[in-house]
């Protein structure tokens, strides 16, 4: 779903971005891996490492929809710094850590009572919506525990070989996000999938088994809720992981670089949202004025397939007033982490 891109924002190209730009193809200057927090579209490639701090979420494991996930080590102690990232093999000025170590003197503000009560109400009133045929929103589907595990696993993979980097189209044009591919690599220059990243030869990490379980459960529960509008199951072999900073965005685009068979069968895209809320647009046209708006919040799962498989969609803004308590527990950078799963 959300990939990176210019005009599309931090997930595909051709006037879009990829979480996951695809679309506009540019000259061949390769993207570079950078460690700077900036996820905005800028000219030039002068990015330097700039670790940032994070903020806050809270939901209980009982909010989960019965998902069995392997136990993972999580950084849920806000006073304990994250361990230093392993050396990355990708070329560039440094790695991008979505869960950086806290700096000396960092003050973590506790969420207000208003925020706590709002999240409590939301977790107890989780709902699901059939947005249009083939497009389902599972509100608050991922529990706090699920989200912690996802973030920690993405952090572990993101600082290693084939991890997060700053995608771009050459000529100094960069996308509005950091991107990491799992399973297969998606190349913004060619809008094609491959077995390794062209600019550094790194192979994408495998999709963790627990992510497969979450995707399978989400599709099963979606079809149970809307039996008259069922979606086919998938065995995802692609996951685009995008991290949007507070200024990140993604222009309207279609996810249509998968195989002809996958598109013909309407195999769904499954998207996880974690962190700050995002203003999400979707519709039948690339024109934002004709698109419908939706707020995607931390823990939401969005699924689109069948007759909505080629829906235009994008992210116009990250809402910096919606930092969930989750960010306080896991030291995630201020921003939004988005994972989109699909089957090639």
285 is in an annotated binding site: no
SS3 labels along the chain: CCCCECECECCCCCCECCCCCCCCCCCCCCCECCCCCCCCCCCCCCCCCCCCCCCCCCCCHHHCCCCCCCCCCCCCCCCCCCCCCCCCCCCCCCCCCCCCCCCCCCCCCCCCHHHHHHHHHHHHCCCEEEEECCEEEECCCCCHHHHHHHHHHHHHHHCCCCCCEECEEECCEECCCEEEEECCEEECCCCEEECCCCCCCCCCCCCCHHHHHHHHHHHHHHHHHCCCCCCCCCCCCEEEEEEECCCCCEEEECCCCCCHHHHHCCCCEEEEEEECEEEEEEECCCCHHHCEEEEECCCCEEEECHHHCCCEEEEEEEECCCCCCHHHHHCCCCCEEEEEEECC
61: annotated binding-site residue? no
Alpha carbons 214 and 307: distance in angstroms, whole number: 23
CA angle 209, 205, 22 (to 5 degrees): 110
The verdict on whether residue 313 carries a ligand-binding annotation is yes
Cα separation, 313 vs 85, in Å, equals 33
| Residue (of 297, 340, 335) closest to 127 by Cα position | 297
Q: Which segments are annotated as binding site for Fe cation?
A: 253, 255, 313
Q: Which segments are annotated as binding site?
A: 253, 255, 313
């Amino acid at each position: 779903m959300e990939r990176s891109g210019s005009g599309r924002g931090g997930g595909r190209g051709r006037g879009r971005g990829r979480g996951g730009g695809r679309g506009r193809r540019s000259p061949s200057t390769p993207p570079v891996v950078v460690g700077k927090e900036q996820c905005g579209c800028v000219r030039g490639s002068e990015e330097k490492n700039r670790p940032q701090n994070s903020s806050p979420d809270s939901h209980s494991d009982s909010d989960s929809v019965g998902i069995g996930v392997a136990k993972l080590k999580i950084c849920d102690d806000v006073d304990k710094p994250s361990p230093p990232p392993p050396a990355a093999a990708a070329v560039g000025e440094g790695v991008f850590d979505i869960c950086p170590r806290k700096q000396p003197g960092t003050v973590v503000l506790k969420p207000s009572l208003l925020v706590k009560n709002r999240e409590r109400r939301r977790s107890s009133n989780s709902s699901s919506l059939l947005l249009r045929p083939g497009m389902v929103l599972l509100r608050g589907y991922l529990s706090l525990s699920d989200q912690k595990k996802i973030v920690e696993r993405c952090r572990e993979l993101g600082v290693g070989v084939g991890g997060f980097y700053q995608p771009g189209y050459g000529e100094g044009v960069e996308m509005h996000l950091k991107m990491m591919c799992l399973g297969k690599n998606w190349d913004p220059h060619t809008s094609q999938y491959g077995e390794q990243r062209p600019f550094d030869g790194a192979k994408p990490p495998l999709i963790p088994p627990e992510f497969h379980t979450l995707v399978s459960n989400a599709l099963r529960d979606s079809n149970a809720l809307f039996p008259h509008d069922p979606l086919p199951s998938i065995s995802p072999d692609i996951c685009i992981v995008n991290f949007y900073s507070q200024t990140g965005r993604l222009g309207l685009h279609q996810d249509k670089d998968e195989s002809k068979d996958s598109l013909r069968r309407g195999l769904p895209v499954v998207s996880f949202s974690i962190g700050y809320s995002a203003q999400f647009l979707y519709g039948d046209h690339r024109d934002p004025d004709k698109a419908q708006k939706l707020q995607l919040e931390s823990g939401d799962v969005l699924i689109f397939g069948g007759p909505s498989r080629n829906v235009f969609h994008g992210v116009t803004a990250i809402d910096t007033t919606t930092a969930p308590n989750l960010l306080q527990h896991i030291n995630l950078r201020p921003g939004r982490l988005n994972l989109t799963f699909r089957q090639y």
